[in-house]
Every structure is written in structure tokens, then in C-alpha cells.
Structure 1
Amino acid sequence: MGLFTSTPMPEPVGDSAPPVDEHPSRIATVLNHLRRSADARITHPRRFRVQQLRALEKMLEEHLDDFLQALNDDLGKSPTEAKFAEVDVVRAEIDFALRHLAEWMDSTGVKVPLALQPAIAKIEPRPLGVVLILGAWNYPLQLVLAPLVAAIAAGNAAVIKPSELAPATSGALAKFLPLYLDERVFAVIEGGVDTATELLAARWDHIFYTGSERVAKIVAMAAAKHLTPTTLELGGKSPAVVDNHSPATAKRLAYAKFMNAGQTCVAPDYILCIGDAAPLISRLTQAITSFYGKEPITHQDFGRIASRQHFDRLLAMMEQGEVVAGGEYDEETLRIAPTIMRNVSLDGTLMTEEIFGPILPIVEVKTFEEALEFIAQRPSPLAAYLMSESPRLQSIFSDRVRAGAIVHNAPLAQMVIPTLPFGGVGASGTGSYHGKHGFDRLSQMRSELNKTTVVDTLSAIYPPYSWAKRKIIDRLL
């Protein structure tokens, strides 16, 4: 998933502190304001967090049409798809957090070793402080507001930067969010590369980035200068191994791949078909027609490509193999029909880079083992899918494949289960969120110990160490 195009930030010269800026930028002013509010613990009470979560939900309800229009302007999303894939996902996160927030905020008691008793020890979730959330263009509403739900629930102040590649949604967020959330602790900052670079140069208590692996490296380098922890939600080439060629398999794969015109980080990026792919191709083609008609590029439920640059990149990929279904495109509307390819080059960008578009390459393999080896030779994806009813193959797949999520027979469905963590591994990302996993990610799990001094039970471990004390220490520890 792309966010912005940038270059590595310049290295500081020398070890001296930077000069004091007598005219701080707007970003510095906003950050200082939020940090003062966070230090004042405005966000800490559960009542405040609940109020802000409900206010966010109210914003989505009262301005639903505005956001649906913005998503259509940016990506050609139909109102139905935009509502359930963007707005409803965020509302589900809010509702889940409201139901469980009291439980999440409770401290957890832990056992104390005999040597330290009597004492009480616990783990208490504490807010981190001020969080920066950098959103992505493919789901420009969901991918800033879902992390924001976690930030609010965990008691943090936050700055969100929507993607400039989805300007209508970014503008809607900048317009409406300050009307509902407390401006002392939440802010929207719009802008492009220069804005993102300035944001990354500041000190944050956590940076939450959704986007590409290339930009994630820039984010990580900037965060390292302040030892700032990060959550990096990236992508990768999520494979789908097909052992079951049924019509249901074809429909589920086609739906997962071509929703949002294929611009989904967990969409099946390519298929490894065990055996002859012809029956699967036929059923996939039928599924596409049943979804989007005979002319998908004019269908109201099929979206468009986000930018001309991305559109041209996808057209170049279509030259790296044989198009067996689809392939039509419209340069004026930036629409590319759902396209199935076979006999593809394994060395070209089609099979080495995340496609992020409505192109589905199919690679035939002779055996299930060959499919596993194919996946193992490539970077770990955000998700890996197996379309098979065999419990044995499912068990082997789960055991052997390294991915952010393993899903059998229901690609994309993992995204709507708030009790499952969403995140990658290796090149597909670090850290996870959704539900309590987001709350935990944006909290400090602080250790706390309380031991009375009325009776000094630690005297046995004080120096000097006699033979008798050494025996006692050996038994206690």
C-alpha cells in the first residue's frame, strides 16, 4: 500500500543541538499543544475516552454521505462498498472498544516470588503520549480512523495525516474531525512529502504507518533518531494456493482480489494452482462477469485506479505474460478491467512486486509441496490463503507458511474479526492492531510493585554474606 513518495531524510551535521526556532512551524505548534495536553493527563480518564469514541462514531453517522462521496471521488468506490469496507469497519472497531474498554484498562495482578512476599505486583496499561498516524490512499478513511480508535482507547493524543493521494477523503477528515473530537488532543494535518518529512523529524511517542515497504524504511530511520517505537502495516505478495477448483472457490478469490479494483493490501496477489488451471480460469471468468457484468470498466460497483502513475505501472505489468481474461482499460477514467494472466514471467515486476491492482496472475504447479517451496523462496506476505477442504493440507500449510495471517477458504474475511490481530511479519510489517491488540500496541504495559517496610523481609539478602545467609538465598532464589 502506497502512502507518499519521498527520499531518505538528511543526516544531521555534527553533534550540536539544533538552534531554537523563534518562529516554529504549524506542525511544531500543534505538536507542542498536544503534548502539553497529554502531559496534563486529559486523555487518561475512561470517561474521556468513551466520549471521544462516541463522538467519532457520531461523526461517521452524521457525515456518512460526505465520506461516501469523497471515497467515490478519490477511488470510484460505490457507496455500498465504501460503507461496508471503510465506514462500517471503523464503526465495528469503535463498538468493540466501547464494549471492552473497562476490561482492557484494568490492571492485571501477577504472582510475587516467595522471597519478596508480602508484596503486591501488577501490570497496568498506561497511555504512551502523542501518537502520529500516517494513513494510506487505498482505504483512506479506514486506515487512519481504525488506528485512531486504538489511540483513543489507549488514552493517547494523536495527529493523523491522511494520504494526499486521496485528497477528497483527506479534506473531509480535516473538515469534520475537529468538529467532533477534542482539539486539545487530536489534530488532522494535511500535506504531501514535505509535510510527511517534517512530521517524521519530530519526536513522537509512537508512529503508526500504513503503506509500502520502501517508505516504511524511511519511517523507521526517522523514528530511530528518537528511539520512537513504530507499528508498520505494509503489504507484500499474498499468495493463494488452490487445491479446490469449485465455483465457490472462484467466487471467493474473485471477490477478494477485485474489490477496490485490487487495491487491497491483503488481496490475493497471485494464485498457485495445483494442476491444470483451465477449469479455475473458466470459473474465475464466470465469477467476474456475475459480479461486474460483461463490461466491468463501466460497472458502478467496480472502482478505478488511484493515479495515472499507478495505472501506467499496471499496464506495463500486463505485458509480462498472457492475458486470458479481461485486459480492457480506459485511460480517461483510469479503469482496468479484472484481468487474469497465465504463463507469466517470474522475474518481472508482476511476480516480484506487489501488484496492487485488478491483475491476477496464475502460476501452475504440479504438487502442493512445490507451492510451499515457491512461497518459502519469497518474502513473508501479509496474508497467505489456501483454498482446500483437506484438513491435512490445511495443517501443513499453517505449519510451513510464514505470513501475517493464514486463512483457509475465506480470503479477506480475517479483516472483519476484531479479536484477530492484523499485522505482518518480516517485510510485510511489524506490530499488529484491531480490537484489544491495537489497545495493547498503543499502551505501555507498566510494571508496578508495592512492598511494605513495616516488616523488612529482605534482611536475609543484605551483606555481609555469611554461610547461613548464602544457604537462605539459595533456597529463596
Structure 2
Amino acid sequence: MVDSLRVAQQDYLFSGATKPLSFRKQQLERLRTMLKRHEGELLKAVKKDLNKQEEEAFLMELGSVYQEITHALDSLENWMRPMKVKNPPSHAGSKSWVHHEPYGSVLIIAPWNYPIQLTFSPLVGALAAGNCAVIKPSELTPHTSSAIAAAVRATFAKEVVAVVEGDAKTAEALLEEPFDYIFFTGSVAVGKKVMEKAAKHLTPHTLELGGKSPAIVDKSAKLELAAKRIAWGKFTNAGQTCIAPDYVLVHEAVYHEFVEKLRDQAHELFAEKTKKGKYTQIVNDRHYKRVKNFLNDGEVVLGGQFSPEDRLIAPTILTNVSWEAPVMQEEIFGPILPIFTYKEASEVLARVRSLPNPLALYVFSEDERVQQLFTEQLSFGGGCINDTLMHVANPHLPFGGKGASGTGAYHGYESFRTFSHQKGLLKQTTKFDFPIRYSLGTLSYKLIRKLFK
């Protein structure tokens, strides 16, 4: 079935149907109409799977996808134009340009933490670039997976967009197929397997992974605002966000004041939701047990409450945490936030560099020299100065990791580029010809050496 689906999509692409601007815009409009028409079912499904409330789900799941679609529709004609490039003196008489060509049938493997957004945001880029797509939603959010499948099947011909549901074995079967491109969002461990499978067919791919993303609070930071934005960025979606702050490094001069403000802000933002059963759940029992064990890795100064029946862990702040503790050995991906102190900027640089490149980094400081130091001297996928998460919602910014946090980028024009092969073309004049390249004598050789300097 998977093989026939992929072949059908590749044949459809070979027909040339997906390449015109009008067709691509039509598919993007169709995607937007589909999301609006099925918005209610999708939001209900994600509530069943994660207890994600409608307001948060719309903002974090659908809002950014609508924004991506609008941006692509407004920009696509310009993106598709052949990009003229210069010629060196050795290529006199010729014209050169870059043509963006769709890869073909692309495979999108989506995660469970933002199951709507991280399924359809890559799809925007795939359709804008003129591809067909096979989507594999996460089996860990089964209601959302079913809602996505129903919406897509009611909207798109399977030759253009198709959904294949199933567990890890289904994903493995899909990865055995020679798709023209693979786009994967998920854990580092699974990302390595995807990369290994892609290597079998030399399939180009994008890996959107994660890692331990730090937030750095300088002594010049506006602490109240920093605390509020870090609490929101960390504890939204129960910390199940690949770019959530994973730990905080606070200058010792403001450490105690910051911790107090962080406690107050986290309580203000999330205590009522937790109390009323409106806080996002941990996705399943295995992840719940893993995250709950981290509660033992430090001193709890806020939160610490948990409910196995509801898979609920309250937003929790930990202090007095050892760098060797289990909570610091892997991405937390849950509502637990360890806080550390530092004296000198050099300590921060050394500590962050000792860990794999994070997907995100957040610097809170009013000192532009400090902002510049950390953002320029540390390697990370992307980030914010005096905010968290918001860079990912800007369709004009590329989003992607580096090293262990991923490879490749998307959003806006980067999505179009990611799902397009850049084909270099040269057109040579037939009005004249240079005989020197066919027969090299002493004089012509000297001339060529000058041309190629």
C-alpha cells in the first residue's frame, strides 16, 4: 500500500500538474479551508489526547499554521521566480540562474507534542514547493491522528496529500520506501534512526530534534518580565515543547530575587489551571513516570504535586540541582525547571558548550554587550533576547537545529527552500564561440590563466 501510494504521487508529479503557481496556491487555499472547516474536531481531539484547552490549542497549534499559509500565498510568486546569478569573465556570452524544483513525493513524520502544528506547518512548505506528501501523524496522540486523517482524506486527492496512520512499525515501513525527501520532527534517538534509513536511499532530509535549551538571566535583566516570560515558555504545554527552556542560569547577584519572582509568575500563570484540571497532561504513562522521577533531583521550591490518574505534574521549580543529576542528563520535556547560578560569563560559555548544541537559547539582559556575547559565542539553533518561544512563530525567520538539535530549517521562505531542489542552469550563446577552450596553445593557456585568477 505504502509503495503504491508513493509511486502514485511520484507519477502525479511527473505529469507536471503540481508545478504551476496556480496549482500550488490552490492547494494552500485548500489546506486553509480544511483547517477552518475541521477546526472544531481538531481542537476537540487534541484536548482528548493532551487535555490542551481550546484557547491554548488555537494559539499554539493552529494560529501559526494559518500565518504560515498566508505568508506563503503572499510570497509564493516571488519565491518561484528563477534567481539570476552572475557569470565570471570565463563565461562570456552566457546567462545563469537557479530554478527551484520540487523534490517529488515527500514523507512528513510528525510528533505528538504539537500534533496539529508540527504536521501542517511542514506541509505548507511542501505544497508551496510543488511536492506531493505522505503524512505520518504520531500514534501517541491517537484522537488527533484520526482527526487529521479524516480532514485530509475529505479534502485532498491521495495523489497530492495522503495520511498513513500507525505505530512505530508503520513509520519504519514508510522509511524503507525511497521517498524523494524526508521531514522528521521528534527525539534525537529516533532522529538517528531516520537518518540511518535515509542513508540507505541517499534521501535528503530535515531533522527537527531538541536538546537542553538554556535560559540565561544576566544581573541587568528586568527580573519580573524575565520570570514571567520564562515561566510561560517553560510550563506552556506542560513543558512538552522542543524549544522550552530546559534549565536557567542566573547571575548570583540576582539569583534569590529571580527565583522568588519566577515562583510568583509560575503560580500566577498556571496554579488556577492546574487546580481546575485545565493544565496540559503528560502524553502517556511512560513519559509521566520518566518526568516524575526528576522531582527527586533537587529541592522543590514550587510545585511538585502530581496525579498518576490524570498524568498531571504541576509546574515545578528545582534548586540545588547537581549537574550530574538525571534531570540534567537528557531533555526534560516536562514541567520541571532546574535553576543554577553563575558568577562570570565564562562559566556560562563553558557550561553550555559542554553540552550538545541546543535547539534554542534565551538571553535576558539589558546590556547589549552581554546579549551579543552569548548569542554570538554560543552555538544553537535559534532563540530570543528577552523572550522565549516567540522566534518560532515568526514565518520570516528560519527555524532549525544544529548538530544534535537537528539539521536543516523551515518556516516561510526556508520551508520553500527546504522542499525545493535548487537546480543551477546556464544558457550559452550560439552567436559566437571561443575556440581556445578546445585547443590550448601557449598563448591561449596564458589567457585562460588570467581569466581564472
Q: TM-score, normalised by structure 2?
A: 0.97
1:389-419: CA deviation from partner (whole Å, max 9, x where unpaired): 1111011112211100132111111011111
**1:331 and 2:308 correspond:** yes
Q: Residue 432 of structure 1 aligns to a residue in which SS?
A: coil
**1:289 and 2:267 correspond:** yes
In 1, Cα distance between equivalents of 2:291 and 2:58: 27
In 1, Cα distance between equivalents of 2:289 and 2:208: 25
- Aligned residue among 229, 236, 255 for 1:252: 229
Counterpart in the other structure of 2:18: 43
- Aligned residue among 33, 42, 53 for 1:78: 53
Q: Residue 154 of structure 2 aligns to a residue in which SS?
A: helix
| Contact 1:245-1:280 within 8 A present in 2 as well | no
In 2, Cα distance between equivalents of 1:323 and 1:296: 20
1:105-127: CA deviation from partner (whole Å, max 9, x where unpaired): 00011112233221111111111
| Contact 2:361-2:380 within 8 A present in 1 as well | yes
Q: Residue 83 of structure 1 aligns to a residue in which SS?
A: helix
In 2, Cα distance between equivalents of 1:33 and 1:298: 51
| Contact 1:245-1:279 within 8 A present in 2 as well | no
Please show how residues 416-427 of structure 1 align to structure 2 within 5 Å: 416-427=393-404
**1:153 and 2:131 correspond:** no
- Aligned residue among 93, 118, 129 for 2:104: 129
Counterpart in the other structure of 1:22: none
Q: Residue 191 of structure 2 aligns to a residue in which SS?
A: helix
Counterpart in the other structure of 2:318: 341
1:31-69: CA deviation from partner (whole Å, max 9, x where unpaired): 121111122122111111101100100011111111110
In 2, Cα distance between equivalents of 1:395 and 1:454: 54
In 1, Cα distance between equivalents of 2:246 and 2:407: 20
Q: Residue 199 of structure 1 aligns to a residue in which SS?
A: helix
In 2, Cα distance between equivalents of 1:296 and 1:321: 25
Q: Which amino acid aligns with 2:437?
A: I
Percent identity between the two aligned chains: 42
> Offset of 1:301 from its aligned partner?
4.5
> Offset of 1:300 from its aligned partner?
5.3
In 1, Cα distance between equivalents of 2:93 and 2:166: 56
Moved more, 375-384 or 37-46: 37-46
Counterpart in the other structure of 1:166: 141
- Aligned residue among 360, 367, 384 for 1:390: 367
Q: Which amino acid aligns with 1:346?
A: W
Counterpart in the other structure of 2:437: 461
> Offset of 1:102 from its aligned partner?
0.1
- Aligned residue among 177, 185, 188 for 2:160: 185
Counterpart in the other structure of 1:30: 5
| Contact 1:304-1:333 within 8 A present in 2 as well | yes
Q: Residue 201 of structure 2 aligns to a residue in which SS?
A: coil
**1:315 and 2:292 correspond:** yes
| Contact 2:365-2:386 within 8 A present in 1 as well | yes
1:375-400: CA deviation from partner (whole Å, max 9, x where unpaired): 11111100111111111101111221
Q: Which amino acid aligns with 2:28?
A: L
Counterpart in the other structure of 2:279: 302
> Offset of 1:325 from its aligned partner?
0.8
**1:233 and 2:208 correspond:** yes
**1:405 and 2:386 correspond:** no
> Offset of 1:475 from its aligned partner?
3.0
Which runs of no fewer than 5 residues in structure 1 stay unpaired? 1-25
Counterpart in the other structure of 1:378: 355
Which runs of no fewer than 5 residues in structure 2 stay unpaired? none
> Offset of 1:336 from its aligned partner?
0.6
> Offset of 1:253 from its aligned partner?
0.5
1:411-444: CA deviation from partner (whole Å, max 9, x where unpaired): 1110111111000001000000000001001101
Change (3 A) 1:95 1:340: same
Q: How many residues align?
A: 449
Counterpart in the other structure of 1:8: none
RMSD of aligned Cα (Å): 1.2
- Aligned residue among 80, 83, 102 for 1:108: 83
Q: Residue 423 of structure 2 aligns to a residue in which SS?
A: strand
**1:280 and 2:240 correspond:** no
1:143-188: CA deviation from partner (whole Å, max 9, x where unpaired): 1100000000000111010000011110001101122223222100
In 2, Cα distance between equivalents of 1:95 and 1:182: 22
Change (3 A) 1:365 1:44: same
> Offset of 1:330 from its aligned partner?
1.0
Q: Residue 99 of structure 2 aligns to a residue in which SS?
A: strand
> Offset of 1:453 from its aligned partner?
2.5
Q: Residue 19 of structure 2 aligns to a residue in which SS?
A: coil
1:81-130: CA deviation from partner (whole Å, max 9, x where unpaired): 10011111111000000000000000011112233221111111111111
In 1, Cα distance between equivalents of 2:150 and 2:157: 14
In 1, Cα distance between equivalents of 2:449 and 2:223: 65
| Contact 2:362-2:383 within 8 A present in 1 as well | yes
